[in-house]
């Protein structure tokens, strides 16, 4: 676990890490370089945010081939495509999503992710889909230009002022 949060959540994780130093590590605070190493080296990335206006870590994770598990909120809902039969078939699945901010909902998403992990072709598909996503600004800017061009191409209503 890397990051910061409420002591009520961090303290139990620190106690677990003390009891199981070979399996669990907890590092509080911000360390961007370490965060990238963790995301690149992980099989899954948990980001169960209660709110997330944008979020970059899920984008980094997808780029590294580390499917994120996220709560459906804000920028997480905008950028991660939940794995289901349809998104697997159409090649858009990039991670795993859950709705309720509850331990049970998070556990359900983790269980779905582990089931996908046990299916190598499904897992590779989710990884590749995430790695292929383009979140660069030039892609967004191009889309804005297309929208503006479409609006400008419409005939003006009678009496409209420029």
Residues of the chain above pLDDT 70, percent? 97
Residue 146 in domain: yes
Dihedral sign from CA coordinates of 94, 13, 74, 102: positive
Q: Are 39 and 60 in contact (CB under 8 A)?
A: yes
Residue 61 in domain: yes
Residue 13 in domain: no
Q: Are 50 and 71 in contact (CB under 8 A)?
A: yes
Residue 80 in domain: yes
Domain with residue 135: its CATH number is 3.40.50.2000
At 73-122, the pLDDT tens digits run 999 999 999 999 999 999 999 999 999 999 999 999 999 999 999 999 99
Residue 22 in domain: no
How many domains would you assign to the chain? 1
At 45-64, the pLDDT tens digits run 999 998 888 889 999 999 99
Q: Are 55 and 79 in contact (CB under 8 A)?
A: yes
Q: Which two tokens stand for residue 67?
A: 């499917």
Helices and strands, counts by H and E, the chain = 8, 5
**Three-class DSSP category at 41:** helix
Quote the pTM value.
0.80
Residue 44 in domain: yes
Domain hosting 69: range is 31-153
Which of the four pLDDT bands, split at 50, 70 and 90, describes residue 8? very high
Q: Show Cβ contacts of residue 42 under 8 Å, excluding neighbours closer than 6 positions.
A: 61, 66
Which of the four pLDDT bands, split at 50, 70 and 90, describes residue 159? low
Residue 53 in domain: yes
Strand partners, 70: 47, 97
Residue 122 in domain: yes
Helices (H), 90-136: 103-117, 120-132
């Amino acid at each position: 676990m890397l990051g910061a949060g409420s002591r009520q959540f961090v303290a139990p994780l620190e106690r677990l890490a003390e009891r199981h130093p070979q399996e669990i590590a907890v590092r509080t605070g911000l360390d961007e370089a370490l965060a990238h190493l963790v995301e690149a080296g992980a099989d899954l990335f948990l980001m169960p945010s209660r709110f997330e206006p944008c979020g970059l870590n899920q984008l980094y994770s997808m780029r590294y081939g580390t499917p994120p598990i996220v709560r459906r909120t804000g920028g997480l809902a905008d950028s991660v495509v939940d794995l289901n039969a349809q998104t697997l078939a159409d090649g858009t699945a990039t991670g795993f999503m859950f709705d309720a901010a509850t331990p049970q909902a998070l556990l359900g998403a983790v269980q779905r992710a582990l089931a996908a992990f046990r299916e190598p072709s499904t897992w590779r598909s989710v990884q590749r889909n995430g790695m292929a996503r383009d979140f660069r600004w030039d892609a967004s800017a191009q889309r804005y230009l297309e929208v503006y061009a479409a609006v400008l191409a419409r005939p003006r209503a009678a009496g409209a002022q420029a």
